[in-house]
Chains A and B, each alone.
Chain A
Amino acid sequence: MPKWGMVIDLNKCTGCGSCVNACRMENNIPVVGAEAAQEGRTMDWMQIITEYDGEYPNVRITHIPRPCFQCGNAPCVIVCPVHATFVNEDGLVGQVYYRCIGCRYCMNACPYTAKCFNYFKPETPKEYEVLLNPDVTRRMNGVVEKCSFCHHRLALAKDTARYEEREVREEDYQTACLEVCPTKAITFGDLDNQEHEVHHLMHSNRAFRLEESLGTDPKVYYLKREDK
């Protein structure tokens, strides 16, 4: 079974936000509006964390795109009382909206704050409705949601492969954030595949994972920013 994972090169990321927007469109993420955003209720499956180093005028800014890390030892999975968030057959951390009761325990347990909650009935502006992705379920009031590594695309790739009577190829499955990245900062694939670039990158000297000491075993690696 492939171990789907991601490597994000922080040298290449410019913080343009394309991945965030692509994710919003791909996954039908509801629009909460300015007021809710002020209250800290922004819904973003992909979020760009900005890190500032140094004093003005010698400031160095690093942008860290943060999807769900699909942890191998996910703290959110243990605490969910109803198995709404679980490790699925592809090794990804799944989130079943129809099973979620909305206790928000997984939100608290996630050290990366990768989960967001539908505090009210989610709304999509009228003009966006034609752009909704029919492959992704729209969520309802009172459930938790998070980045799924565009799992619906993997499902489609598997269906196609079965129809064509072959194995799933890595190029069949790409996430939306990766596709739009103008600087190609994101690499995605099977972390166990020694021939794939993602495998080499994750073993690079620059590779690290966020809060690795917590033992969560994230499947998203970052390549440390280095000034040239």
Chain B
Amino acid sequence: MGNPVNMTNHKPKQSADSSAGAIIEETPLIAGNHTFSSITEKISGVIEGPTPKMWWVLFSFSVSLLLILVGSVGFLIWEGTGIWGLNSPVGWGWAIVNFVFWVGIGHAGTLISAVLHLFRQKWRTSINRFAEAMTIFAVICALLFPTIHVGRIWVLYWFFPIPNQMSMWPNFRSPLLWDVFAVSIYFTVSLLFWYVGLVPDIATLRDRAKTRGKKIIYGILSLGWRGANRHWRHYELGYLILAGLSTPLVLSVHSVVSTDFATSIIPGWHTTIFPPYFVAGAIFSGFAMVMTLAIIARKAFGMEEFITVNHLEKMAKIIMVTGLMVGYAYSIEFFIAWYSGNDYERFTFINRALGPYAWAYWIMVSCNVIIPQFFWSKKLRTNVTVLFILSIFVNIGMWFERFVIITSSLSRDYLPSSWDYYSPSIWDIATFVGSFGLFFTLFLLFLRFLPMISMAEVKGVLPQADPHHPMYQKSGEAHENK
């Protein structure tokens, strides 16, 4: 990874007819002929340089949104859940929609960092750091919603199996309890993974720090890292173990979230397709969010050489694949509703497409099924502006997917006498908008104080990191080059 000595398996690809002497050069992952030191300079420079004015503008805006969140959550706890637009059949509204939306976004980070790491996809190194940061902040936003949506937030600790004098114990058959464990484990592992990956880079920042405060803070956070061979060995093993632990979590978390719906008998919820369908949707939305943020960050901080169009194109391909999976799931749901012969299921799906929430359904279909089809064209998926706009559409579409699933099913359950229409109140909207404030506040702080691209890992994918690189031919051995 960061240690060039260990990179023995990296060889430039050769074409099949190498006998003819034609060698096709691999497109470099990092453009701009960077050296190890120029990478450190460039990425640390963002943190060490003066705070850009634009950062302050965006930060003030995000903090304002965060204050809206604080205000609306405060009012919610003071007044009661009634300030939201919920009613009798629709007991879950925007809060749960937002929860599933944010958890879904939180999926791409671990997929990029863990699964792509295990599959040795070297292109992940440019985007993994801030995708992981995005995961952590998105999961924080996600955890907020189930916390505040309960009627009595002050007794929320009853969710946890804490031995107590009241002989109370949670119900392990409830999917809501599985959620608590699934999401909190996911959060813990993602945080650890992120932090372990940060250690070598924080050590670099510590070594470069000029003020005493920075030296102390980065010094504590870097856990005494000296870049010794022994450190690298332990680090890489630890990183691999964490990647192994995180990989099943990528699949499990959203599967568990989907059981919230799949295990109850509401038509439109009670289907076995939910776990894979939710996981595909989560990766779909997560990658769209990574793309949106990556495009902004590379532009704002001049990181085009690290996050190249090549990276964006690869992400676009993943968005297209998962978008096709999601589209397939939509059609299979319809097919099964018809094929099952169950009148309630048939009604639910016809109602989704043609009923009172048809507008939301068709927004969902347009954004999630039609929009990703543009990525078939290489011209479009290498155009940064197009990618940016389409990734935002995907984010919107995935929010609507959760909205359609939750509200259209609940508002039309078994007895027509209890049917009702759900519309959000101003407080629902304020809380959702405010959650973006929380997300972007954390994200901007991250961009300012921590390296947004993993310096150690990016160095590992440079051509110079290969011990067989022509640069080392003279001396015949690899150099420590930091």
Q: Which residues of A line the B interface, CB within 8 A?
A: 36, 39-42, 47, 49-51, 66, 75, 78-83, 99-105, 107-109, 111-113, 116-121, 140-144, 210-211, 214, 216
Given A49-B417, A78-B173, A101-B159, A119:B80 Cβ within 8 A? yes
**Contact at A105–B88, with CB atoms within 8 Å?**
no
Among B92, B171, B418, the residue within 8 A (CB) of A82 is B171
Do B171 and A101 touch across chains, with their CB atoms under 8 A apart?
Answer: no
Chain A CB within 8 A of B81 CB: yes
Q: Which residues of A contact B15 (CB under 8 A)?
A: none
Check A75–B174 contact: CB distance below 8 A: no
Besides the contacts A83-B169, A113-B413, what 13 more A-B pairs have beta carbons closer than 8 Å? A36-B82, A41-B87, A81-B170, A105-B91, A108-B92, A111-B266, A111-B414, A113-B415, A117-B86, A117-B151, A119-B81, A119-B86, A214-B265
Flag if B413 contacts A111 (CB, 8 Å).
yes
**22 A/B residue pairs, CB under 8 Å, sorted by A:** A39-B85, A79-B176, A79-B263, A79-B264, A81-B159, A83-B170, A99-B158, A101-B158, A103-B150, A103-B176, A104-B91, A109-B265, A111-B265, A111-B413, A112-B415, A113-B413, A113-B418, A119-B86, A121-B80, A142-B81, A142-B152, A144-B151
Per the bound structure, the CA–CA distance linking A47 and B418 in Å amounts to 10
Residues in A whose Cβ lies below 8 Å from that of B173: 78-79
Q: Which residues of A contact B158 (CB under 8 A)?
A: 82, 99, 101
- Residues of A with C-beta under 8 A to B91: 104-105, 107-108, 117
Q: Identify which of B155, B176, B415 contacts A49 (C-beta below 8 A).
A: B415
Contact of B420 among A40, A83, A143 (CB under 8 A): A40
Which of B163-180 touch A at CB < 8 Å? 168-171, 173-177, 180
Collect the chain B residues with CB atoms within 8 Å of residue A78's CB: 171, 173-174, 263
Bound state CA distance, A42 and B169, in angstroms? Answer: 32
**B155:A101 contact, CB within 8 angstroms:** yes
CA distance A141 to B168 in the complex (A): 21
Contact of B266 among A49, A108, A144 (CB under 8 A): A108
A31: min CB distance to chain B, Å: 14
Whether B24 sits at the interface, judged by CB under 8 Å, is no
- In the bound complex, what is the Cα–Cα distance between A82 and B152 (angstroms)? 13
Q: Which of A49, A80, A107, A111 contacts B171 (CB 8 A)?
A: A80
Q: Which residues of the partner chain B approach A116 to less than 8 Å between Cβ atoms?
A: 88
- Interfacial chain B residues near A42, Cβ < 8 Å: 88
Contact A75/B265 with A40-B420, A101-B151, A103-B149 known, Cβ cut-off 8 Å: yes
Q: Distance (Å) between the CB of A219 and the closest chain B CB?
A: 18
B61-87 contacts to A, CB under 8 A, are: 79-82, 85-87
Tell me if B92 and A104 are in contact (CB < 8 A): yes
The answer to the question of B156 belonging to the interface, with a C-beta cut-off of 8 Å to chain A, is yes
**Is B114 positioned at the interface, with any CB of A under 8 Å from its CB?**
no
Q: Could you tell me if A81 and B177 are in contact, using CB atoms closer than 8 angstroms? A: yes
Query: How far, in angstroms, from A66 to B266 measured CA to CA in the complex?
Result: 19
Give Cα distance in the complex from A50 to B415, angstroms.
Answer: 11
Supposing A49-B417, A101-B158, A107-B88 touch, asked if A81 and B410 sit within 8 A by C-beta, the answer is no
Contact with A along B115-159 (1 / 0, CB 8 A): 000000000000000000000000000000010011110011011
Most A CB within 10 A of own CB, among B174, B177, B420 = B174
Closest residue of A by beta carbon distance from B158:
A82
How long is the Cα–Cα vector from A143 to B153 in the complex, in angstroms?
A: 11
Contact call A117/B81, Cβ cutoff below 8 A: yes
Who on chain B is nearest to A142 by CB?
Answer: B151
A102 in contact with B81 (CB, 8 Å):
yes
Complex contact B263–A40 (CB within 8 A): no
Chain A residues contacting B227 (CB-CB under 8 Å) are: none
Residues on B with beta carbons closer than 8 Å to the beta carbon of A211: 414-415
**Interface presence of B89 (CB below 8 A):** yes
Residue ID in chain A nearest B173 by CB atoms: A78
Nearest-neighbor residue (CB-CB) of B87 within chain A: A40
What chain B residues lie within 8 Å of A50 (beta carbons)?
A: 417
CB neighbours (8 Å) of A216 from chain B are: 265
Which residues of chain A are within 8 angstroms of B417 by Cβ–Cβ distance? Answer: 47, 49-51
Q: Which residues of A contact B413 (CB under 8 A)?
A: 111, 113
A75: chain B residues at CB < 8 Å are 264-265
Assuming the contacts A79-B264, A214-B265, asked whether A101 and B81 have C-beta atoms less than 8 A apart, the reply is no
Partner of B152, one of A66, A119, A141: A141
Q: Once bound together, how far apart are the Cα atoms of A39 and B86, in whole Å?
A: 8
CB distance B415 to A101 under 8 Å? no
Q: Chain B residues near A214 (CB, 8 Å)?
A: 265, 414
Given contact pairs A40-B87, A50-B417, A81 touches B176 in the complex (Cβ within 8 A): yes
CB distance from B254 to the nearest CB of A (A): 18
| Chain B residue nearest to A140 in the complex (CB) | B152
Q: Which of B80, B176, B180 has the most CB of A within 10 A?
A: B80
**Residue in B closest to A43 when the chains form the complex, CB atoms:** B88
Q: CA–CA, A105 to B149, complex, Å? A: 11
A141 in contact with B174 (CB, 8 Å): no
Distance in angstroms between the alpha carbons of A118 and B82 in the assembled complex: 8
Q: Are B176 and A141 in contact, with the CB atoms below 8 A?
A: no
What's the nearest-Cβ distance from chain B to residue A142, in Å?
Answer: 2
CB distance from B312 to the nearest CB of A (A): 40
Structural contact, A79 and B175, CB atoms closer than 8 A: yes
- CB-based nearest A residue for B155: A101
For the complex formed, measure the closest distance between the CB of A53 and the CB atoms of chain B, giving whole angstroms: 13
Residue of B nearest to A85 (CB): B171
